[in-house]
Amino acid sequence: MKFLFIGDIVGRSGRKAVRCHLENNKYDFVVANVENSAAGFGITERVYNDLKSMGINAMTAGNHTWDRKETAELIESWDEFIRPANISSKAAGKGFNIFEVNGKKICVINLLGRVFMNMSNCPFESFDTIYESIDKDCFIIVDFHGEATSEKIAFGNYASNKANVVTGTHTHVQTNDLRLIGNTLYLTDAGMCGAIDSILGMEKESIIEKFVTNMPHRFKAETKGSVLFNGFSFTIDDDNIIREYKLINETFESIES
């Protein structure tokens, strides 16, 4: 069985990169971080349906989960959408979901890091609570949405041999450390799908202005030029053992959108 995990999809350029990759590759199950997929901020109904139609089976989020007002209104009807588990238990939506594919149970969990974000409960404890509550034959994929490499590597080691796959997201910069920690496939950051000539998928000028002046600026997703596709794929056998894995870092030429 072949899986794909897609790094943070940023706006229209990111969606275009995903479409280009999925047109040429086949997977049994696809997970993507989608919290920047609607023009760089959150997700809308239209974008949710667009990503679903491309073949994305599970969509994870992070600190931008609630950027769009309609997310809070529609989240309960979005079966594929998983917001961070370690936020208020009163929040709408779900922090993990179990999907059945080819007779396999696949549990996708979204967690939010606390280093430099500090807007959530303990992700380590939340993982333990979920892990104790689910069937032990589930294949578990964790998207740990965090800023700090240290926190993500610590979590990868903490969850090794419990979670089957742990990947970081959020920095939009793919790391080169895809490896097994025990039986767990681990990557510090899956990277980004979005415009290459950008800063983390956003238009460069306003980001630079913000750093130079330290004044507030409105950021916009870059929609011009070539696009980048980042993620990783892996295969598993009938016993949930990971057999093959590889980083994916592709570019698609000059797409005006």
Q: How far is the CB of 64 from Fe ion (least distance, A)?
A: 5
Find how far residue 220's CA is from the centre of its chain.
20
For 72, counting Cβ atoms within 10 Å of its Cβ (0-12 exposed, 13-18 middle, 19+ buried), the class is middle
Q: How far is the CB of 35 from Fe ion (least distance, A)?
A: 6
Reply yes or no on whether 64 is catalytic: yes
Nearer Cβ to Fe ion, position 1 or 146? 146
Paired sense of beta strands 242-252 and 227-236, if any = antiparallel
* Cα 20 from Cα 221, distance rounded (Å): 19
Q: How far is the CB of 83 from Fe ion (least distance, A)?
A: 12
Task: Looking at the chain, list the stretches that DSSP marks H as alpha helix, in order from N- to C-terminal side.
Answer: 11-24, 45-54, 69-74, 123-133, 149-158, 204-213
* Cα 96 from Cα 228, distance rounded (Å): 28
Strands (E), the chain: 2-6, 8-9, 29-33, 58-60, 81-82, 96-101, 104-112, 139-145, 165-169, 179-181, 184-187, 192-195, 227-236, 242-252
Cα diameter, the chain: 55
Q: Which of 64, 145, 170, 172 is catalytic?
A: 64
Residues lying near Fe ion in the complex (CB under 5 A): 62-63, 170
Nearer Cβ to Fe ion, position 152 or 170? 170
Q: How far is the CB of 117 from Fe ion (least distance, A)?
A: 8
* Cα 255 from Cα 257, distance rounded (Å): 6
Q: How far is the CB of 147 from Fe ion (least distance, A)?
A: 8
Helix (H, G, I), strand (E, B) or coil at 201: coil
Q: Which residues are catalytic?
A: 64
